């Protein structure tokens, strides 16, 4: 029987990939464990959700002020996971807040041309990484040795490729790696919280909405609102509020939509209490834009998992944790 159980665990590990998304906010540590069969278009399943409160001041902005408190909360969250052999090799990703991250997009041609002018005789691929690092250094105002930089080349329908660059102070990455390690956790990735939230809600949209629908994704967090307009071809526009050019959330979202007219849906996630206190609960957004408003929740992906508490299944606060784990099981 022991050999049979070991064989079953080994088969599960081979046929499914498991990952954990870790969202550390100023108030709590949230953990989402998801799995996915290793086959094309396999469904994503939420296996477990946990939330452990943090003492006030443990994290401020993007800084881990009290690493011991955060490490203890991480240990408690992971300590609540069921003892399963297939979970021993969890890929773990942790979020990085928008306040600690600089993001920019630069035309690929501009980066390559600039480096060719300065240093002839090199191929474009040889020059691209130094050009990206130079652009990140210029935009952040921090020398590249003190930066952690991630970048990717994205094609566009007009044929003009863009380079997306994300940069943060290296100390933010190191503090997360070291704090997780103190809790016995090895991080496989660190990703921006807005990107993770968008990934989670777009995944929900791909399942719950018609592929031809146009919808707004809104994610609320302590520093403001992040919003994206999503259409058939993906993300068409994005914004962050507050900004000097927008007097209200209504103005910002109307600017986001542009001339296309009202969207078919609005997805909202994150700290929805913040939206409510700002005068924009779901009912108000629905009245303004005359379309249904859906809160993000993990419930549709829990698939009857008995260990997931009801309140956590329906909490919009798990968008980031779910999006972080989703990246690790789909890559």
The pLDDT tens digits for 85-104 are 666 678 999 999 988 888 88
Say if residue 177 is in the same domain as residue 92: yes
By residue count, the chain amounts to 331
43 or 69, which is more confident: 69
Q: Do residues 183 and 45 both lie within one domain?
A: yes
Q: How far apart are CA 330 and CA 38, in angstroms?
A: 9
**Are 26 and 62 found together in one domain?**
yes
Report yes or no on 12 lying in a domain: yes
Sole residue written with tokens 């005068």: 279
pLDDT (0 to 100) of residue 93: 95
Distance from C-alpha of 166 to C-alpha of 103, rounded to nearest angstrom: 4
SS3 106: strand
Give the pLDDT confidence score for residue 12 in this predicted structure. Answer: 47
pTM of the model: 0.86
**How many domains would you assign to the chain?**
3
Secondary structure E strands in the chain: 16-24, 28-37, 44-53, 59-60, 63-64, 91-96, 101-107, 147-154, 162-169, 187-192, 215-221, 224-231, 234-241, 265-270, 293-295
Question: Is 274 among the domain residues?
Answer: yes
Chain mean pLDDT for the chain: 86
pLDDT in tens, 250-264: 999 999 999 888 899
Same domain (yes/no): 182, 37: yes
9 has pLDDT over 70: no
Cβ(305)–Cβ(45) below 8 Å: yes
**What number is the average pLDDT over the span 190-202?**
93
Task: Tell me the pLDDT tens digit for each residue of 99-137.
Answer: 888 888 888 888 877 555 445 555 555 678 888 888 888
With beta carbons less than 8 A apart as the criterion, state whether 172 and 150 touch: no
Between the CA atoms of 229, 60, 246 and 255, what dihedral angle is there, to the nearest 10 degrees? 0
Last residue of a domain, one of 123, 153, 169: 169
Clarify whether residues 84 and 14 are in a common domain: yes
DSSP annotation string for 294-329: EE--SGGGTTT-TTS-HHHHT-GGGHHHHHHHHHHH
Which CATH number do you get for residue 104?
3.30.1490.300
Q: How many CB atoms lie within 10 A of CB 320?
A: 32
Are residue 10 and residue 128 in the same domain, yes or no? no
Residue 200 lies in a domain: no
Q: Please tell me the predicted confidence (pLDDT) of residue 95.
A: 93
Query: Do 182 and 212 belong to one domain?
Result: no
pLDDT at position 2, please?
43
* Residue at 201 is within a domain: no
pLDDT at 85: 61
Asked whether residue 219 falls in the same domain as residue 291, the answer is yes
Least confident piece of the model among 107-116, 270-279, 289-298, 307-316: 107-116
Pair 78, 179 in one domain: yes
pLDDT in tens, 226-247: 999 999 888 899 999 999 999 9
Same domain for 94 and 181, yes or no, is: yes
Shared domain for 141 and 37, answered yes or no, is no
Residue 49 lies in a domain: yes
Q: Is 94 found in the same domain as 47?
A: yes
CATH number at residue 59: 3.30.420.40
- 123 lies in some domain: yes
Please give the residue range of the domain that contains residue 56.
2-99+172-195+300-330
Separation CA 230–CA 93 (nearest Å): 25
Surface-to-core class of residue 89, CB atoms within 10 Å of its CB (0-12 exposed, 13-18 middle, 19+ buried): exposed
Q: How far apart are the first and last CA of the chain?
A: 35
CA-CA distance, 34 to 268, in Å (whole number)?
Answer: 21
Q: Tell me the per-residue pLDDT of 140-164, one tens digit each, with 9 for 90 and over.
A: 888 888 888 887 787 766 667 888 8
Q: What is the pLDDT of residue 123?
A: 52
């Amino acid at each position: 029987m022991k050999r049979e159980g070991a064989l079953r665990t080994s088969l599960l590990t081979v046929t499914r990939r498991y990952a954990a998304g870790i969202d550390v906010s100023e108030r709590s540590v949230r953990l989402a464990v998801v799995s996915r069969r290793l086959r094309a278009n396999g469904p994503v399943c939420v296996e477990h959700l946990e939330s452990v409160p943090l003492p006030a001041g443990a994290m401020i902005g993007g800084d881990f002020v009290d690493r011991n408190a955060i490490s203890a909360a991480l240990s408690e969250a992971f300590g609540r996971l069921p003892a399963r052999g297939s979970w021993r090799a969890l890929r773990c990703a942790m979020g990085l807040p928008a306040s600690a991250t600089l993001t920019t997009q630069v035309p690929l041609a501009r980066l390559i041309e600039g480096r060719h002018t300065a240093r002839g005789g090199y191929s474009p691929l040889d020059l691209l990484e130094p050009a990206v690092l130079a652009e990140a250094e210029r935009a952040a105002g921090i020398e590249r040795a003190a930066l952690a930089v991630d970048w990717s080349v994205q094609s566009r329908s007009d044929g003009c490729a863009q380079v997306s660059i994300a940069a943060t102070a290296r100390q933010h990455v190191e503090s997360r790696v070291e704090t997780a390690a103190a809790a016995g956790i090895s991080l496989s990735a660190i990703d921006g919280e807005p990107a993770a939230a968008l990934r989670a809600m777009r995944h929900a949209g791909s399942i719950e909405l018609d592929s031809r629908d146009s919808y707004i994704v809104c994610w609320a967090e302590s520093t403001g609102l992040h919003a994206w307009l999503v259409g058939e071809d993906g993300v068409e526009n994005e914004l962050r509020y507050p900004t000097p050019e927008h007097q209200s959330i209504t103005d910002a979202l109307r600017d986001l939509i542009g001339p296309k007219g009202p969207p078919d849906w609005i997805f909202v996630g994150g700290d929805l209490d913040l939206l409510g206190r700002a005068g924009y609960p779901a009912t108000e957004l629905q009245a303004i834009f005359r379309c249904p408003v859906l809160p993000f929740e993990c419930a549709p992906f829990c698939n009857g998992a008995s260990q997931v508490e009801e309140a956590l299944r329906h909490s919009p606060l798990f968008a980031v944790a779910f999006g972080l784990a989703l990246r690790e099981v789909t890559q």
